[in-house]
Amino acid sequence: MGTGHITSYIDVAQVTLYLFWLFFAGLIYYIRTEDKREGYPLIADGPLDPTEGFPFVPAPITRLVDHPEFLNPDRVEPPLNAQPTGPWPGAPLEPVGDPMLAGVGPGAWANRTDLPDLAYDDHLPKIVPLRVAGEFSVAGESADPRGMDVVGADGKVAGKVVELWLDRAEYIFRYLEVSVNTPAGGRNVLVPMTMAVVKRKAGQVEVTSILASQFADVPGLKNPDQITLLEEDKICAYYGGGTLYATPSRVDPIL
């Protein structure tokens, strides 16, 4: 019997190889199970489209975060404000009601916790208006959009920028606070900086994702001086939905 042989047919290298194969198979099974904790479909697209498949969705575990603990995965089926355009599996979904607020397609939002995102060091809300974070200001070489008109995709003035919202952890501006007029009276709404273009020479801010009249329906805040994770998702989703649903011409095919 040669060195390293257990028997005349099995040696240490063989055993190590087989153990590696078992470990790797178990690792693949574990990863495929864990990836079903986030973003896995809960609604079947037909009788031949199971939502679970193999391997099965893992049992929920409790996540401990800065906010109240939550179960993951949470198998609660969310309401779907859309209906298929055809009876066949895979048919496109069409929003029900106001497509800008239906929460589907580019306007989809996640059911995140309705509490503000907190900074790591002091556990205070990260994103606040400058009127709260008085120690911050706009850099002298940068354009200060406060006081500028906000123009929608139709070229009409929707309102005026009255404040900037700062991410105190990242030191960047996240939102513009805009004063708009609505049939029910004036209100302030937030515009994500990523959806706005500040035109210093023109003295205005362009937001091409929605029309000027649609600023009145931007989801609001519970607290005028802070924004929750759920409110962030809904606000950003509203402008995202406008990229497709703001006008009928955006929905219909070009050809």
Which domains are seen in the chain, by residue range? Answer: 1-77 (4.10.540.10), 110-251 (3.90.50.10)
How big is the chain, counted in residues? 255
CA distances to 6, 7, 9, 11, 13 from 2, rounded to whole Å, are: 9, 9, 11, 9, 13
- Residue 51: predicted pLDDT: 67
Contact yes or no for 91/45 (Cβ under 8 A): no
> Above 80 in pLDDT, residue 218?
yes
> Above 90 in pLDDT, residue 42?
no
Mean pLDDT, range 226-255, rounded to an integer = 90
pLDDT in tens, 168-181: 999 999 999 999 99
When comparing pLDDT for 84 and 50, which is higher?
A: 84
Query: How would you classify the pairing of strands 149-151 and 204-206?
Result: parallel
pLDDT in tens, 67-78: 666 667 776 666
- Residue 215: predicted pLDDT: 96
Mean pLDDT, range 137-160, rounded to an integer = 94
- Residue 255: predicted pLDDT: 59
Mean pLDDT, range 30-45, rounded to an integer = 78
- Residue 15: predicted pLDDT: 87
Please, is 150 exposed, middle or buried when counting C-beta atoms within 10 Å of its C-beta (0-12, 13-18, 19+)?
A: buried
Mean pLDDT, range 28-45, rounded to an integer = 79
